[in-house]
Chains A and B, each alone.
Chain A
């Protein structure tokens, strides 16, 4: 797969206070090769499973084959008698040790003002299984093989119950969790219902659409793993695990699950091979491993096999939605009304409640001036794996609703879909823009991205290309998606007011070492994003030190003070900003030291390119010389502490709002129904770009996942709650030959409220692309809706039943 990278523009509508750096070849804006890749591609990465601790033993989980069943008996006798098995622990053992249930981290208020209803989620089943694959017991043995044999020997008697699987009827079915009627975690709404209804009633045209957002199963290349170590001498617990946010894991395991106090619990997330959200959450297995390590007084390791990942990693998406868009006689959107049933799975996962509410409903304005919006969401329990954030987390679902219905509206009105969008877009002079669904967009230029994307895909040449396809008996379609996302999670006050259990700031520490190198500590976590490179670029640029002299440390609660981790495209916008703030403190202190050494006034010392210089003199000092002086303070200000190390916590004032236009062009084989994405253009406004190479890589990966959702992937359970797509044979991930050469372009408006002017790029590819591809597929087929994934069978059946192509 080759890459076409369109030239990026640096048109700026706001000043961020940072000058683009032209001098530093590894600074901001440079396509520096990822420094972490050398160890990854030479087999020198250190993942959780690579870590071996003297005396470690191995855990295997006994999992329920039933989706919904009472556990009437767990007989561990034969398992304990299995050679080399040293312990078999159950949910009852956990309860006896006072280990609590896994909490949901976001309390969503229902529309009637009451709290959502969250069932207890014991890490190991105590008396009732609620999804197939739920862990019932942990078997620990000297070898993995012995642990497997021991697990096979655990005899569990199940009394099977009716499984509630179908999302459309779950609210009319028997209760999964006693006391949670209609299997409803919450009914939530946002926006003005009465005004929206009134505007729809008087609209000249109303487009209606029913949509399914298919369940997805994350497949990070590294499965989840954990190694729990208990030090009987110090009482310290250390959990090595595949986490996107080790500090949050420590906080939850300490405060809610009662594993150990925070000062006796260290969580280390070493190299982590991808997450896409699925490693944000606090899971049963990691919890059981660190608890079991204390019980058996041996280090305990567990590494999921792929089957377990399919069953027990939190899944993504899974919505049923009805939407109505009202349009006036001039083509202006006047109202959008959305009703969504969101599958939450069997329990509320760590952030499961927030994804289909605050990360979904708030994005339904899209890039448009739609004045009236109302959304109602029912969060529903089913006997399926818990559903939580997956790359994009709510925002792909929102974009899918908005961009699919806008596309259909354009077809119904016989207008060019691009022009109908353009007519309704928020204009650059309207920022800051208050949407009817809570958010205030700070900046953007949506038409610029639209125009650039239309140019890159040769929109005007499409009809000629379609004729060529038709001559071959194929069907060609084109589809747009003008997405927006809220990233840079999140202003803490706002998040906590809306129910978040934690603040969403980030911490950073910049430590100048005595000899001039820099160690940077960040609470963000890198599991594929390339922070070790990008963050080094930022600090190198800010402090004027060589890129190679900056080391980035992350993923260890024992080394990094605190952090909220990586998700929601927040690392650079929030974590990077914290590093800028810490670097500014370094410069400010350095200026005092330099002024003393140069015998000038502090106000007369300028800092640029790594040098402090005394204005109107030829005296200057490098930051390295100043750092040395700070650690060897022979000639040093009396009122200043030695050392040159600074911390900062950065709490964003607002979300950031990356936005752009994705356009997909598909060709459908008239005989087989195979959909080929033949052209794909992504033009994104991510604000300032630190490393274009990494940004393009993120876009590529995200678009690949989005195309996977649109054409290939679906997580399916049968009516008894058995996962039918439980392996790579049945769950179809995109491969290189399913994807075209992506054309990636950027436009730039700088975020107005963070010091870097950045917005975040990690999720955009997966947010814009499903709607673009499905708009193209429905365009090619001449139908209103095809449910994702548009598999060859589904498309072929439509082709068999279709009437001759409507004339365009």
Chain B
């Protein structure tokens, strides 16, 4: 399956690029995330419990950053293994570009495939499940960063879906440096979500 989306982030391109995530925060924001570990500069592993339609399992997630091109983009390759529930694998290409003063546009394209029970009975549910979990992620994230109101909107669209649905999510840019990791957390969290479920 293919998915793409873009987020407008009220922070500078450099800030976005420089932002590094905190695995512990991500673990708290990603629905069903049981653990999140950064194994080295470019590798992450996570355990995420998720449910797609009738398929429910704990997925082992391995992510690797590649083609790192500061500050404009990189690629994430990932594998998700859910044992009897199936597996996923794929890659996501990320572009980060400044659109105006203090505004950064992040776009991503995920190409992924799923297998096993997930594919057999869940493939038609993936889009809806992804959106649902993305909603949950941002709700949790808002609580985590202490923001109560959303004031930027992300569009998540899927090529599989002829009626792109707007998902109201917040990527609130809190002022100054403390914000940077949060933005990155949003980005990264989305990928984990994407790799677990959009895959």
Residues on A lying within 8 angstroms of B by beta carbon are 62, 65-67, 132, 151-152, 155, 307, 310-311, 718, 720, 722-724, 726-727, 729-730
Contact = CB atoms under 8 A, between A and B. Distances in A.
A311 B120 contact: yes
B84 A152 contact: yes
17 contacts: A62-B84, A65-B84, A65-B115, A65-B116, A65-B119, A66-B116, A132-B119, A311-B120, A718-B113, A720-B115, A722-B114, A722-B120, A723-B120, A724-B123, A726-B121, A727-B121, A730-B123
Contacts of B87: 65-66
A720 B114 CA distance: 9
B119 A727 contact: no
Contacts of B164: none
Contacts of A310: 120
B172 to A, nearest CB: 38
Given A718-B113, A729-B124, A730-B124, A723 B119 contact: yes
A718 B124 CA distance: 13
A307 B117 CA distance: 8
Contacts of A152: 83-84
Interface in B95-134: 113-117, 119-121, 123-124
A65 B115 CA distance: 6
B73 interface: no
B108 to A, nearest CB: 22
A62 B119 CA distance: 16
A673 to B, nearest CB: 15
Nearest to B118: A65
B86 interface: yes
Contact of A65 (B117, B121, B123, B124): B117
Per CB-CB distance, the 7 closest pairs between chain A and chain B, nearest first, are: A65-B116, A726-B120, A722-B119, A152-B84, A65-B115, A727-B121, A65-B86
A726 B120 CA distance: 5
A416 B123 CA distance: 46
Nearest to B81: A65
Interface of B: 83-84, 86-87, 113-117, 119-121, 123-124
Contacts of A720: 113, 115
Contact of B119 (A151, A155, A718, A729): A718
A722 B124 CA distance: 13
B121 A66 contact: no
B165 to A, nearest CB: 20
A729 B124 CA distance: 9
A66 B115 contact: yes
Give the residue among B113, B117, B124 with the most A Cβ atoms within 10 A. Answer: B117
Contacts of A727: 120-121
A151 B120 contact: no
A629 B83 CA distance: 69
Contacts of B113: 718, 720, 722
B111 to A, nearest CB: 12
Given A65-B87, A152-B83, A729-B124, A724 B115 contact: no
Contacts, number: 50
A307 B43 CA distance: 36
Contact of B84 (A132, A151, A722, A730): A151
A608 to B, nearest CB: 61
A724 B115 CA distance: 10
Contacts of A65: 84, 86-87, 115-117, 119
Contacts of B124: 729-730
Nearest to B86: A65
A414 B86 CA distance: 54
A65 B113 CA distance: 12
B120 to A, nearest CB: 3
Contact of A307 (B83, B115, B121, B123): B121
A255 to B, nearest CB: 35
B121 A722 contact: no
Given A67-B115, A151-B84, A722-B115, 7 more contacts: A65-B86, A65-B116, A132-B116, A152-B83, A307-B120, A723-B119, A726-B119
B116 A729 contact: no
Contacts of A66: 87, 115-116
A66 B115 CA distance: 7
A762 to B, nearest CB: 30
Contacts of A724: 119-120, 123
A497 B114 CA distance: 46
A726 B55 CA distance: 13
Nearest to B82: A65
A66 B81 CA distance: 12
Nearest to A69: B115
Give the residue among B87, B114, B123, B124 with the most A Cβ atoms within 10 A. Answer: B123
Nearest to B114: A722
A205 B29 CA distance: 70
Nearest to B123: A724
Contacts of B84: 62, 65, 151-152
Give the residue among A155, A722, A727 with the most B Cβ atoms within 10 A. Answer: A722
Contacts of B119: 65, 132, 718, 722-724, 726
A779 B83 CA distance: 49
A729 B121 contact: yes
A718 B119 CA distance: 9
A729 B54 CA distance: 12
Nearest to A727: B121
B131 to A, nearest CB: 19
A20 to B, nearest CB: 52
Nearest to B89: A160
Contacts of A62: 84
Contacts of B83: 152, 155
A132 B117 CA distance: 10
Contacts of A151: 84
Contacts of B123: 722, 724, 730
Give the residue among A65, A724, A729 with the most B Cβ atoms within 10 A. Answer: A65
B42 to A, nearest CB: 23
Nearest to A158: B87
A151 B124 CA distance: 25
Nearest to A723: B120
A331 B180 CA distance: 80
Contacts of B115: 65-67, 132, 720, 722
Nearest to B113: A720
A718 B160 CA distance: 14
A310 B115 CA distance: 15
A648 to B, nearest CB: 47
Nearest to A133: B120
A726 B83 CA distance: 18
A286 B37 CA distance: 45
A132 B113 CA distance: 14
A593 to B, nearest CB: 63
A350 to B, nearest CB: 24
B77 to A, nearest CB: 15
Contacts of A311: 120
A5 B87 CA distance: 52
Contacts of A726: 119-121
A79 to B, nearest CB: 11
A778 B135 CA distance: 46
Nearest to A719: B113
